[in-house]
């Protein structure tokens, strides 16, 4: 069964460092998303991506964040200069054409 895969599963970084989280969406999907969940809080929408551009972003997704689809398979989330409050579980998701959203297992980011 096709699935969304995310790497790394856990990353520990120092405050101020750049972090790239990687996702491989399901191959025939066209819409891609990043969500995050700070420990003990709700899962929050960050950004959606379609046709090689951001289609929607939340107020959380500020200039420190960027997304990219550098090739035909990967979808990355970059945090330019991490802050303590960026510590969270980051979920990638994809869908074909507003069908069911398929989520990856998440990447846990710990900022020290």
Partner 1 sequence: GNSVTQMEGPVTLSEEAFLTINCTYTATGYPSLFWYVQYPGEGLQLLLKATKADDKGSNKGFEATYRKETTSFHLEKGSVQVSDSAVYFCALSRQETSGSRLTFGEGTQLTVNP
Task: Output the smallest distance, CB 72 to partner 1, in A.
Answer: 20
Give the sign of the dihedral formed by CA 90, CA 96, CA 102, CA 104. Answer: negative
- Euclidean distance between the first and the last CA atom of the chain, given in angstroms as a whole number: 37
Nearer to partner 1, 4 or 19 (CB): 4
- Residues 86/38, Cβ–Cβ less than 8 Å: no
What is the footprint of partner 1 within residues 41-100 (CB under 8 A)? 41-45, 48, 56, 91, 93, 95-100
In the complex, the residues that contact partner 1 under the rule CB under 8 A are 3-4, 31, 33, 35, 37, 41-45, 48, 56, 91, 93, 95-106
């Amino acid at each position: 069964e096709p699935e969304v895969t995310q790497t790394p599963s856990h990353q520990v970084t120092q405050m101020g460092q750049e972090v790239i989280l990687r996702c491989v969406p399901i191959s025939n999907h066209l819409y891609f998303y990043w969500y995050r969940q700070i420990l003990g809080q709700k899962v929050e929408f960050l950004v959606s991506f379609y046709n090689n551009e951001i289609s929607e972003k939340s107020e959380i997704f500020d200039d420190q964040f960027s997304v990219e689809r550098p090739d035909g398979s990967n979808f990355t989330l970059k945090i330019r200069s991490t802050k303590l409050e960026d510590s969270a579980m980051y979920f990638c998701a994809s869908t074909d054409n507003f069908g069911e959203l398929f989520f990856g297992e998440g990447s846990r980011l710990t900022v020290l």
